[in-house]
Amino acid sequence: MTCDGCVKDVSDALYKLGGITKVEADLERQLVSVEGTAAPSAIVSAIEATGRDAILRGSGASNSAAVCILETYHRNEKGGDALVPASAPEADTEGSGINDREVRGLARMVQVSPTITLVDLTVRGVKPGTYSASIREYGDLKLGATSTGPVWAGGSGTTQPRGILGTVQVGKDGRGAVFFDHPFQVWEVIGHAMVVSSQQEGVTEGNLRNDENTVVGVIARSAGMWDNDKTVCSCTGKTLWEERKDEVKKGMI
């Protein structure tokens, strides 16, 4: 943003989203603070639609946010469903299943009450259809989706596991997005895997196959609102904006 007109453009675009209650912009620091119930992905997309770039710097309060990068684990130089573990020497060889995995989705989680967490899920680059999203019992990705186990029960004491999130519809362009609210706390799911798959059989029990339309990742804690004040990566020397461009090229959403 370079002027007050830019601030107005961004603010107007955000207020058009349902659920936005407050937008404050700091032109000098290039920061926009947004309050409301709109999905974080929708907020970023609305800003980008004005012709500007945007980086999400945390959601919700401290210790109440998480993120999951979803990738495919469907190839292996040896063939079959088994993947090469990341720790194995074969992981660095050309054609390895680890090197061939692709980022095809991102899930952001924000806890908004002691019992409710919002899940903002986006996927792309998969075939059209209905996909099931679930949190799994284990965070083991050595064999991709096949090693994540059954759907997370979460000590619910009911016949319905707490890890069943719902479905997302993927359109003809290979893209899909959905916004869930679910009864769990962020700390409960940290370290568990999330799987998004079009497979209909074995999803609940854990009999999942790895294919090009199944994406999986481990849920990790992320920064709360304004907790992440990093502007340059100490390991690469790149700014956040440069890092973001690199990740977008890799398929990050």
Per-residue model confidence (pLDDT) at position 167: 93
Asked if 172 and 140 count as a contact pair (C-beta separation under 8 A), the reply is no
Q: Residue 101's pLDDT is what?
A: 73
97 in Cβ contact with 76 (< 8 Å): yes
The tokens for 132 are 């099931």
Q: For residue 29, with 0-12 CB atoms within 10 Å meaning exposed, 13-18 middle and 19 or more buried, which class applies?
A: exposed
DSSP 240: H
Express each pLDDT in 197-237 by its tens digit. Answer: 998 776 777 778 888 889 999 999 876 554 555 454 545 55
Q: Where are the domains of the chain?
A: 1-54, 65-221
pLDDT at 97: 58
Identity of the residue numbered 81? D
pTM exceeds 0.85 for this model:
no
Fold of 65-221: Immunoglobulin-like (2.60.40)
Q: Are 109 and 163 in contact (CB under 8 A)?
A: no
Residue carrying the six token digits 């680890």 = 98
* Residue-level pLDDT at 226: 46
Contact by Cβ (8 Å): 60, 46: no
Q: How far apart are CA 83 and CA 62, in angstroms?
A: 36
- For the chain, which residues score pLDDT lower than 50? 226, 230, 232, 234
Of residues 134, 142, 190, 140, the one with CA closest to residue 163: 134
- The predicted pLDDT at position 17 comes to 87
Q: Give Cα separations from 80 to 88, 205, 211, 243 (angstroms).
A: 17, 21, 10, 34
CATH T-level topology, domain 1-54:
Alpha-Beta Plaits (3.30.70)
CA angle 229-117-50, nearest 5°? 55
The predicted structure's pLDDT at residue 13: 92
Provide the 10 A C-beta neighbour count for residue 52. 15
